[in-house]
Chain A
Amino acid sequence: MAVLDFSYNMSIKFSMPVIKHCYTLRIIPIECENQHIEDIKVTVFPENELTYSADGFGNILVTDRIVTMHNEFTVDVTGTVTTGEHISAEADLNPVYKYPTHFTKCGAELDRMFDRIRIGISDNAVDTALKFTRAIRANIVYKTGSTSVVTTAEEALLNGAGVCQDYSHILLALLRKAEIPCRYVVGMMVGEGETHAWVEVYHQGNWYGVDPTNNRLADENYIIISRGRDFADCGINRGLLTGGGTQTQTVSLKVTKR
């Protein structure tokens, strides 16, 4: 068990005023087995009627509709979370996690890769995920800015480079091809200055966190924010606005262990 303090800040500056702005934020860590929120403070500017809801995956949504003109949008979330092993029981698996999605569909390149590594599939889904992870790391290198929010697993593999989102998408694609249920996780990690993404693998009634980017199992240094089938289900900030011109976004994150 560990106690982690975190502080997340996002700021978007608009070159032109924004007159209408709807947004959905997925930035609050969830409550789950081995992860408990001790303290949380959310500040969004500007705010009108900040509302909390949940989506179909059980993620927490913060939504609002701002009608006053603004040039800047800021989100601050600070809190304290107790964490532990990344194992959570779920007897009633939603089969949706077995099926490929837009981002995790295998094309010819992933199919070929799968054929090369399928020998690594064992009865233990977590072991299989770790074996696949090593294969992924032999095929792509970590390179900031090498991919974008629309890059699919297939494209990242062809590209030979990617970030945590791409490592996770490729792992999800391969696991789903091996008929292993798995999901995408967005979260935070001690010592990381940005949000992180990893994968959860379903094995014998439990979800296990596997981090393909760092080639390790998720542990008490990780905080889960949201989960879904892929990146698209876990958007941190989804907004719809009128006006705005060009946007400049800055994000800072600090996660420390007590």
Chain B
Amino acid sequence: MYGLIEHTDEINRLLARYGVKFGIYKNNVFNERLFPFDTVPRIISKDEFEYLERGLKQRVKALNIFLKDIYTKKQIIKDKIIPEEFIYGAAGYMMECEGAVPPKDVFAHISGIDLVQGNDMRWYVLEDNLRVPSGASYPMIARELCRRASPDTFRANTVVDNRNYGDLLRNALDYVNTGGINVVLTPGRFNSAFFEHSYLAEKTGSVFAMPQDLFVEGNVLYYNEYSGKRKRVGAVYRRINDDFMDPMTFRADSLLGVPHIMDAYRAGNVALVNAPGNSVADDKGIYYYVPAMIKYYLGEEPILSNAPTYLPFYADDMKYVLDNIQKLVVKDVAESGGYGVVFGSELSLERVYELKKMIQKEPRRFIAQEVIQFNDLKVVENGAWTERKADLRAFVLMGEEPVVWKSGLTRFSKDANSFVVNSSQGGGFKDTWVLSR
């Protein structure tokens, strides 16, 4: 694999040319930034990946059942596994989705589960992304370029081919398709993952559509062809957030949405991938309950652990959080993408005091976690070896059964001391190799 290092600049140049970029909004200004690629892969052994695979499938299965339960019977609340206020007191639950059961009962078609490996070599789940998880295209295209740059590397190593992501995604779309074409719906080229949208449309053989190409009539979704002919749409891999998806149901000021698409979905005439309303499972407060959810719905012991998490909502946890805040990381449950994350150790005494007061005022709004001692990964920076914190976003695709993509997006932090690896916070990425033996 060291044969790849000398190609670092060349591969990064090609990635830039292909348009592997990340868009960031900062102070209302949109900037496109290259997503630096480090050629040294993260390597996961066959056995280790099989373990992750079992754990991830189990987790996504439980989350999918949870979503159906929350929007229909709400048994998990009635049985007091999850306190009601964690569902209804949060922004994640969407009444607009109440009673809506998607085709084949699949809510979480594509899940991006973020994991980290501690220096004890144990894996911990940090976050579940069940709304519109992005990033699969980066390792896909990086792998392709690496293969071209150094074919020998891949002859010498038994790396599982990751070029099947498009097929897995296509299967997930076909499985729920209600009769019609598959469409990848992008809000447009100013979205931070526009490159990925077009790339995945190509890889899945789907029609690449902008909102104005789609319309609903008689609760059926159609694609307007250039010739003016309409085609029925059976599944939409939509890369638009719920809030903006349908101005007739959600934000009325959305210009990115398709009017009445929610009515077509509720009528069972189209699959929306992922299902609207999944935000209730993404919620950082709900994350705390996922292990309990696995026991409750599947009757199994959770295979993967959460990072040790405290909910100030509970008196004991509140006391622990207030007493130990300087060694914990505190997260605002309403935020995502690495925003609203503070490390107690980095705060001035004054800010610690402010944060404690905020937690006491709105206990439901925060979770606190032990800082995991990451197993740092080696990266090459300006020709020299150094180490960075890194996470792994694993992708789980749901057809009749969940399938874990044998690769993933490994993101590393911008600075050696930073723990925040989200692409929107700077930093780079690596390929993830899963070995076949």
Contact = CB atoms under 8 A, between A and B. Distances in A.
A65 B88 contact: no
Interface string A52-84: 011111100101010000000000000000000
Contact of B77 (A23, A24, A54, A95): A95
B435 interface: no
Contacts of A54: 266
A51 B260 CA distance: 11
| A56, A96, A99, A240, most chain B CB atoms within 10 A | A56
Nearest to B277: A56
B98 A22 contact: no
Contacts of B95: 56-57, 96, 228-229, 233
Interface string B195-229: 00000000000000000000111110000000000
Contacts of A95: 74, 77, 84, 87-88
Interface of chain B, main secondary structure? loop
On chain A, which size bracket covers the interface? 20 to 34
Contacts, number: 67
Given A229-B95, A240-B248, A51 B215 contact: no
Interface residues of B, number: 28
A22 B248 contact: yes
A22 B259 contact: yes
A65 B259 contact: yes
Contact of A51 (B77, B99, B218): B218
B259 A240 contact: yes
A96 B93 contact: yes
Interface string B246-265: 01110010000001100100
B248 A63 contact: yes
Interface string B54-86: 000000000000000000001001000000110
Contacts of A65: 215-217, 259-260
Contact of A57 (B77, B98, B219, B248): B98
Nearest to A22: B259
28 contacts: A22-B259, A22-B260, A24-B248, A24-B260, A48-B217, A49-B217, A51-B219, A53-B219, A53-B263, A53-B267, A54-B266, A55-B266, A56-B95, A56-B96, A56-B98, A56-B99, A57-B95, A58-B99, A61-B263, A63-B263, A65-B259, A94-B74, A95-B74, A95-B77, A96-B95, A228-B95, A229-B95, A233-B95
Interface of A: 22-24, 48-49, 51, 53-58, 61, 63, 65, 94-96, 98-99, 228-229, 233, 238, 240
